[in-house]
């Protein structure tokens, strides 16, 4: 893996200390704004480059940054790399939305990703490793499940497939059918593998919490307008976990 010296190209802040060592990464930068306004105190907008807003504030007195990551593995890869490489971030929890691909998973439902699989060549392009499966941080995942129990938040632990294309636009059943049989694939989305793999390369902690907003087995859908408030349980769970 190449570790670039110098300055990041996509996160521009006044001081490196403007980025906290613990991070929440929603995909949508407007969701980062929502979290900063509704969950953090003394939140400061620290990055606006490409409108990928990053806010740093305090949650229960602990410094936290929340930042958008964009859509897809290339975008997630840029921000995860720069946060780990240039800002020496220690822990990241992705908080995103996903599609449910296993019968019985309700909408909405919070899911914690255990393993993530992809058919992408992301790992090979990034680090010349032929890897298509990577696991989230064991310690951080344990903290998530313990915190969920304390908060009485229902969380399903399962495996995820990260796609290069938007799930509803492809024959998702064919893709799920090609995943290793030992996996329990419950969700699909577009960013998780990149985060987990880059965290692995830097030997840092990364986990992923997802809220199902649609399902192959139900007509229930969480609309874009409803997503801000529908994701509050997941947001609180991620914040309570990452400050531990």
173 burial type by CB count under 10 A (0-12 exposed, 13-18 middle, 19+ buried) = exposed
Q: Look up residue 224 and give its two tokens.
A: 């874009």
Catalytic residue among 18, 114, 150, 214: 214
CA-wise closest residue to 42 among 68, 19, 14, 64: 64
Question: What's the CA gap between 140 and 195, in Å, rounded?
Answer: 14
Q: Look up residue 32 and give its two tokens.
A: 């980062």
Question: What DSSP character marks residue 144?
Answer: H
CB 189 within 8 A of CB 97: yes
3-state DSSP helix/strand/coil % of the chain, to nearest 5: 35, 30, 35
Query: How many residues does this entry show for the chain?
Result: 244
Q: How far is CA 205 from CA 23, 90, 99, 141, 170, in A?
A: 11, 6, 24, 10, 32
The question of whether 150 is a catalytic residue gets the answer no
For residue 1, what are the β-bridge partners? Answer: none
Catalytic residues: 214
């Amino acid at each position: 893996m190449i570790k670039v010296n110098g300055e990041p190209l996509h996160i521009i802040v006044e001081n490196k200390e403007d980025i906290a060592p613990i991070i929440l990464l929603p995909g949508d930068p407007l969701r980062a704004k929502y979290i900063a306004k509704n969950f953090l105190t003394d939140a400061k907008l620290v990055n606006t480059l490409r409108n990928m807003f990053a806010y740093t504030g305090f949650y229960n007195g602990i410094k936290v940054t929340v930042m958008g990551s964009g859509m897809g593995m290339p975008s997630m890869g840029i921000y995860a790399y720069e946060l780990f490489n240039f800002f020496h971030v220690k822990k990241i929890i992705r908080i995103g939305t996903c599609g449910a691909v296993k019968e019985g998973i309700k909408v909405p439902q919070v899911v914690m990703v255990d393993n993530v699989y992809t058919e992408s060549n992301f790992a090979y392009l990034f680090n010349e490793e032929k890897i298509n499966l990577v696991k989230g941080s064991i310690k951080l995942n344990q903290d998530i499940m313990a915190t969920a129990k304390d908060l009485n938040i229902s969380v399903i632990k399962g495996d995820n497939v990260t796609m290069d294309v938007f799930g509803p636009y492809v024959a998702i059943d064919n893709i799920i059918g090609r995943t290793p049989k030992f996996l329990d694939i419950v969700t699909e989305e577009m960013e998780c593998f990149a985060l987990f793999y880059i965290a692995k390369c830097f030997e840092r902690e990364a986990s992923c919490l997802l809220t199902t907003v649609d399902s192959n087995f139900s007509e229930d859908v969480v609309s874009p307008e409803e997503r801000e408030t529908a994701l509050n349980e997941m947001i609180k769970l991620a914040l309570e976990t990452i400050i531990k």
